[in-house]
Amino acid sequence: MSTLSNLFRSLLFFVAISFAFSCSQEGTSFKRVSLVPVDCVDPLVGSLSLGQKPLPAVVQLPHALLSISPMKADFRSNYIEGLPLVSFAALGDTQLYFCPLLSMAGADFTPFYTYDNEEVTPYSYKVYLDKEQVYCSFSLQERSGIYHLNFKESVSQERLFQFRSSSEIAFYQLDSLNRVYATYPLKGKGSLYLYLESNLPFEAASSVGEKILLVKAPSGCEELVIRYGISLIDHEQAQKNLQREIPSYEYNVVSKAARNAWSTALGRIKLEGGTLEEQSIFYTALYRSLTAPVCISEYGRYYCSMDDSVYDDEGTPFYTNDRTSESFRSLHPLKTLLFPEIEQQILNSYIRMAQRSNNKELPTYPSFGGDIASAIDRNRMLEIFTDAYSKGLTDIDIQTIYQVANNYMNSGKADAYDRWCYQKIATFSGRAIKEEGNKHIPVMAHPSISLIYQLEPYNIREIIESSKSVDTFEALLDERMTSVLLEPLTVHNMYGYYLYSFTDHPHKTQKIIRHVLKKNCRLDPAGFPTTVDGASWGASVVFSMLGFYPVTPGLGEYIIGSPMFTKAVLDQGGGRYFVLEAERASEKEKYVGPVILNEQPLRQLHFPHKSIAQGGSLKMKMYPKPLSD
């Protein structure tokens, strides 16, 4: 009896030690315990990068105009520069922000804050400023935000608020009712407008030029709530946006509504199986994919930077902020699958941009102030439209797209992939293929390692034919993959890992995909590789973890990889569900066995989008070793 008692006490001690160790871990360990999608998300993943610009944590509602990011260099920084009001990452860091100061600080004082207890979620930002002894809590709606500032630890101290901008040509104003207005000229055309007010009126004001506005908080206040709206139209619209979205100063009401918005969006995919960390990585990637493009309609109106005008949206929301050189690969295919109504609205927004631009071309990187594409950005709008139309999103003006495609073919900017898409668009529209678009530029005359792995994925079957045999193609892939472990994982090379699915040994794809995801996707600040476009990167991870991938945008098909979850249910809207089941899926059992698509055997490891566009099922068994391919 004594032996059993000692054994039981030892067991309890082991459990207690294990629990204490798990609770002692820093960062996001508690998030790993939750299976609620919104609580699985860690915005700090990717916020630390050695030698490159990190991926900033973003507080934003899905596809919403307003977003903020903590104002520090990266995850390791011991200082923050202030409290952000607007952070448009596409335009570089934070545009408008404010700084709580103690009264002894001068008007032109530039603060750097030490801080504690920082917490970032998709819908909120909290931080404690050490010297100033103020607890700051932020949440938001689509075009408006709210800060709750708690001074209870230092009520007797006088408080100043310094409103600042990252631009030399931005300016602040204070009206007779002590309401703050800001105007921030955008890169290109147009401006960002801000309207801000507080629950207790500011007592005094001064300015240092127009870039900095200094106001004083009421003496002896324990709490102050600041709320504000933004607009791309004017200050009046910014005020209207605030009044519609945040009509009161109840911070908790706003925070709860923002959390619910994310819960609904992330809940479009429900998972079973996988580890808790894998589910957290998945939902963090899904959150990233929902931060772009951005809806800039403001209750029926929108600003169009293509011709610097304001329009009625006529019931169709208007979107922008899309780096098409990356987003065509996986971001737009994911929205077509999961949010087809939103993708349809995005496509129609780009058609309107083309109609209002001087050259009647689709923009490469549409953003708030216009096309901000750099020299390295290639326009992939034709690929985006071809992929969506081939998957059934046909409620667009295909004749306009055909005309735009003609213009692009004649511009001298088109490559072989563009021509391939142009030919498909001509077929969709029932129009002739012009001579320029009919030219065929073979992407590879002689197969080589580098050409097989190039950035134009439409010609995979052509490459195989040029290789003379599937075996030759596979041998070239084998040689190329010897260095794959040394390369950073990007949106552009992800598709290459799926090319073995076109050979007689698709298990090689399944092995490599699992390996690169494990290496490159972790639940820590350095857990995502540095990428220019966090939304596109997130979509690539979502597809790969689900177990299928749109290798060739425009072809309307998916290639099966290696599912990481035993079950995933995708809510496609309108009562349509796509259910993917991978029996026994785990880190060890990663190889795909027989596959059943919509209750019918699938002979090859690829399937058309049309087979799941109205819902469907994909079932497979997973094995620890490859079956006979």
Domains, the chain, ordered by start: 39-264 (2.70.98.10), 273-396+488-623 (3.30.2080.10)
144: left (phi over 0), alpha (psi -120 to 50) or beta: beta
Say which range, 16-25, 106-115, 127-136, 552-561, has the weakest mean pLDDT: 16-25
The pLDDT tens digits of the residues spanning 85-106 come to: 999 977 667 999 999 988 766 5
Average confidence (pLDDT) over 295-299 = 98
Helix (H, G, I), strand (E, B) or coil at 219: coil
Which residue spans within 291-402 are E strands per DSSP? 294-295, 301-304, 309-312, 319-320, 366-367, 370-371
Lowest mean pLDDT among 404-418, 550-564, 607-621: 404-418
Lowest mean pLDDT among 238-252, 344-358, 431-445: 431-445
Residue 15, pLDDT score:
37
Query: CA 427 to CA 422: how far, in whole Å?
Result: 9
CB-CB contact of 357 with 306 (8 Å)? yes
Between β-strands 576-583 and 616-623, what pairing exists: parallel, antiparallel or unpaired?
parallel
> Mean pLDDT over residues 294-302, rounded?
98
pLDDT of residue 176: 82
Task: Check if the beta carbon of residue 124 is closer than 8 Å to that of residue 117.
Answer: no
- Identify which has the larger pLDDT, 622 or 166: 622
- E strand residue ranges, 187-292: 191-198, 205-208, 212-216, 223-231, 269-272
The stretch 415-429 carries a mean pLDDT of 92
* pTM of the model as a whole: 0.92
What's the average model confidence in pLDDT over 166-193?
A: 90
Q: Are residues 36 and 260 in contact, defined by beta-carbon separation less than 8 angstroms?
A: no
What is the side-by-side order of every strand in the sheet holding 548-549? 548-549, 557-560, 606-608
Alpha-carbon distance values, 332 to 60, 346, 347, 389 (Å): 19, 9, 10, 12
- What's the token pair of residue 333? 């295919």
CA distance 346 to 410: 25
Q: Give the mean pLDDT of 270-285.
A: 96
Q: How confident is the model at residue 8 (pLDDT cuts 50, 70, 90)?
A: very low
Whether the pLDDT of residue 369 is over 80: the answer is: yes
Q: How confident is the model at residue 307 (pLDDT cuts 50, 70, 90)?
A: very high
Class of residue 460 by CB neighbours under 10 A (exposed 0-12, middle 13-18, buried 19+): buried
Q: Are 560 and 509 in contact (CB under 8 A)?
A: no
Distance CA 137, CA 118 (A): 10
Q: In the chain, what percentage of residues exceed pLDDT 90?
A: 64
Residue 32 DSSP label: G
CA separation, residue 522 to residues 42, 122, 129, 278, 333 (Å): 11, 18, 29, 8, 24
> Of 50-64, 216-230, 378-392, which gets the smallest average pLDDT?
50-64
Strands of 212-216's sheet, edge to edge? 83-86, 96-102, 159-165, 212-216, 205-208
For position 530, what pLDDT does the model report? 66
Q: What is the pLDDT of residue 446?
A: 42
Residues composing the chain? 629
pLDDT in tens, 402-421: 999 999 998 888 988 898 99
Strand, helix or coil for residue 25: coil
- pLDDT above 50 (res 290): yes
More confident residue, 440 or 538: 538
Let me know: does 618 contact 595? Beta carbons within 8 Å.
yes
Please say whether the beta carbons of 58 and 78 come within 8 A.
no
At residue 485, the pLDDT reads 58
Mean pLDDT for all residues in the chain: 87
Q: Which of 251, 272, 49, 69 is nearest to 166 (CA)?
A: 69
> Is there a contact between 446 and 435 (Cβ–Cβ < 8 Å)?
no
Determine how β-strand 616-623 pairs with β-strand 180-185: unpaired
Q: For the chain, what percentages of helix, strand and coil (3-state, to nearest 5) are there?
A: 35, 25, 40
Position with higher pLDDT, 533 vs 226: 226
Return the SS3 of 289: helix
